[in-house]
Amino acid sequence: MWSEELLIGVEEIDRQHRELLLTLSGFMEALGNPQTSREYYRTTMEQTKALVIEHFNTEEKHFGEIGFTEAEYHTELHKSFFEKATDFDIELIKTDYDPEVALRLVEMLIAWFTEHIRCEDRKMADPVFWSGREETPRFQL
């Protein structure tokens, strides 16, 4: 779930993280409702995929702008995650949006994003945003 704890101080990236995690939370809630249609799962998964692609492109463009030293490693993390999520998505389509498969996928997505933002995206946090704040992120110096 999104919370202020996940802010890194780069406006566009923070906005995308928030939108992604709110979309996934909405999906999670809808899974608890037996009246949710498979069409909803399908369109929400499509929407999530588009958000993820846009988001990874934004971050990878940002690496160049700030001269991020872990750009290659970070891009590799995005790539392997995307492959894993795509395999899962194929399974979901094959099972005609089985709610159990959908639940496992959404849980995996939320866990991966939360952990990735905390441990990896934070390394590109804007030091200006954090100056004067109590908590200092682990940004690259």
* Binding residues vs Fe ion (CB under 5 A): 59, 121
Q: State which residue, 2 or 121, has the beta carbon closest to Fe ion.
A: 121
Q: State which residue, 14 or 41, has the beta carbon closest to Fe ion.
A: 14
Residue least distant from Fe ion (Cβ): 121
Least spacing, CB of residue 104 vs Fe ion, in Å: 22
d(CA 106, CA 28): 7
Least spacing, CB of residue 77 vs Fe ion, in Å: 7
Q: State which residue, 31 or 52, has the beta carbon closest to Fe ion.
A: 52
Q: State which residue, 93 or 119, has the beta carbon closest to Fe ion.
A: 119
Least spacing, CB of residue 59 vs Fe ion, in Å: 5
d(CA 116, CA 95): 28
Q: Which amino acid is at 56?
A: F
Crossing angle between the packed helical segments 71-94 and 38-66, to the nearest 10 degrees: 170
Q: State which residue, 59 or 101, has the beta carbon closest to Fe ion.
A: 59
Least spacing, CB of residue 103 vs Fe ion, in Å: 23
Least spacing, CB of residue 89 vs Fe ion, in Å: 19
Q: CA gyration radius for the chain?
A: 16
Beta-carbon count within 10 A of 139 CB = 17
Determine the number of helices (DSSP H) and then strands (DSSP E) in the chain. Answer: 5, 0
d(CA 38, CA 97): 6
